[in-house]
Structure 1
Amino acid sequence: MGSGPLYLKLRNRVEKAIDEGLLTDGDALPSERDIAELADVSRVTVRKAVQDLVKDGILVQRHGSGTFVSKPVARVEQPLSRLTSFTEDMTRRGWHAQSRWLTRGRFAPSPEEMVSLGLAPGDEVSRIERLRIADAMPLAIERASISAQLLPDPDLVDVSLYAVLEAHGHRPVRALQRISATNLRAEDAELLGVEAGDAGLRIERISYLESGRVVEFTRSLYRGDAYDFVAELTIGKG
């Protein structure tokens, strides 16, 4: 295979096979032993080349199943300077937004919801939990909580929560967001179509009405391989 690290040369051969269509999305790679024999390299070299390709998202390893060519994921670049809904974001990109409902109803609030939404004892909360999908690809799990006083009937939410809130005069005008890295739990990873333990982004958002009242407390999980959050910064004078 010429000069240079053997694992990089093997990696390049696998990438070339993918580029030329010899290996396509979802195809399984031969076993580590078979690749080593075919390429006349050690299994350690094969393992290192495969791990390098997995790290870059070109291959995916599934426990108990093997190694497969990964379907390319279109990344979403999401600015942090605008407060918009998922539906608005996807429509602006020309993508078809869909939702798969996980939970939708009125409930007694959890202590976290009571504190975040400023609820009193006896108040109820409307929960909207759904898998957000764009062009048939699951992108995020969104778990929104709203005071039942502001959203008495969560079944009114069909596509866009913000559209329903706006129709009732409760569209948020500003929000605070906290973004952190996380490793996805098995049940969340399954919904997002990735492996348990894969990287994800956790976002907690508290949105406010113009009056300053909290209208929304949302906890979302995003696929780490599909989202880039972008913030524009300015340099202050002095």
Structure 2
Amino acid sequence: MSLATQIGPLGVGDAAPLYKQLQRALREAIQGKILSPDDALPPERDMADEFNVSRITIRKALDGLVSEGLLTRRQGAGTFVAARVEKNFSKLTCFTEDMIARGRTPHSEWIARMEGAVTPEESLTLGLSPGAPVYRFHRVRYADGAPMAVEYTTIAAFALPSVEAVKSSLYEAMAATGHRPARALQRLRGVLISAQHASLLGVKAKDAGLLVERRGFLRDGRAVEVSQSYYRGDAYDFVAELNDPV
């Protein structure tokens, strides 16, 4: 079945620009479950023929839905309906592990990574002496090419040989030195995405977001990690298993 048959033709007599009409039709099809997560859209050339519009119109419509998080582009594969990611709060895993477990391809873009001295607040959180060295990692996290989160992490310097030791996975680098966190405390709260983070996440300022604050501990009880991660509210769900204590 063609895409035009699934979502219907563009409105006759609709005064809205054609790309807006197509965006609205695709958005409603996704929200109405006519198009399912991970469904592939036809190539832009085929869509242009189906809807009798230019490829520029198709590209402009799809760009808007990608920025909304409803569609995602996968290099060499095409454009797909985005699948929301579920993060299980009962398991201590990192972003890279979460994405790989769900069949998605993670990567990061560095904002900054640096060595420094612990701040007074970090000193209390990590239990480090004033002036103790730490490593800071600031990056944007992606899944299948779509930005998912902006992450700020501070690691006690004893847990890594150098700031350059972290490649794709922070926890992998920490595990190599025997300092991967064994447990963590996390706090989740809703926030409005700031203008700074919106530009990095491809959303609008004041869109709904999720802030996850984590403090990670080694098996001996020492705190080793403190992080703040700002997630897109339209692309991430957090779940937790609850058990009856009786």
- Same structural fold, with TM-score higher than 0.5 when normalized by the shorter chain: yes
- Assess, with a 3 A threshold, how the Cα gap between structure 1 residues 121 and 233 changes in structure 2: closer, same or farther: same
SS in 2 for 1:162: helix
Distance in 1 separating the partners of 2:207 and 2:18: 20
Percent of aligned positions with the same letter in both sequences? 46
1:193 aligns with 2:211: no
Which residue in 2 is equivalent to 1:70? 65
Q: Which sections of structure 2, spanning at least 5 residues, go unmatched?
A: 12-16, 33-62, 71-81
Q: Deviation per CA, 1:17-55, whole angstroms, max 9, x where unpaired?
A: 9923639xx96437xxxxxxxxxxxxxxxxxx9xxx7xx
SS in 1 for 2:121: helix
SS in 1 for 2:158: coil
Which residue in 1 is equivalent to 2:92? 83
Aligned-pair Cα RMSD in Å: 2.8
SS in 2 for 1:89: helix
Which residue in 2 is equivalent to 1:111? 120
User: Between Structure 1 and Structure 2, how many residues are aligned?
Assistant: 190
Query: Aligned match of 1:20 in 8, 13, 33?
Result: 8
Which residue in 1 is equivalent to 2:170? 161
Which residue in 1 is equivalent to 2:180? 171
Q: Deviation per CA, 1:82-137, whole angstroms, max 9, x where unpaired?
A: 00111111111111110000111101222221111111122121001110001000
1:136 aligns with 2:145: yes
Q: Once structures 1 and 2 are overlaid, which stretch shifts more, 179-188 or 121-130?
A: 121-130
Q: Which sections of structure 1, spanning at least 5 residues, go unmatched?
A: 1-15, 31-48, 58-67
TM-score (norm 2): 0.70
Q: Is the 8 A contact 1:103 1:128 kept in 2?
A: yes
Which residue in 2 is equivalent to 1:29? 20
TM-score (norm 1): 0.72
Distance in 2 separating the partners of 1:89 and 1:176: 18
Q: Deviation per CA, 1:166-219, whole angstroms, max 9, x where unpaired?
A: 100101110000000000100101100000000000010001000000010011
Which residue in 2 is equivalent to 1:94? 103
SS in 1 for 2:83: coil
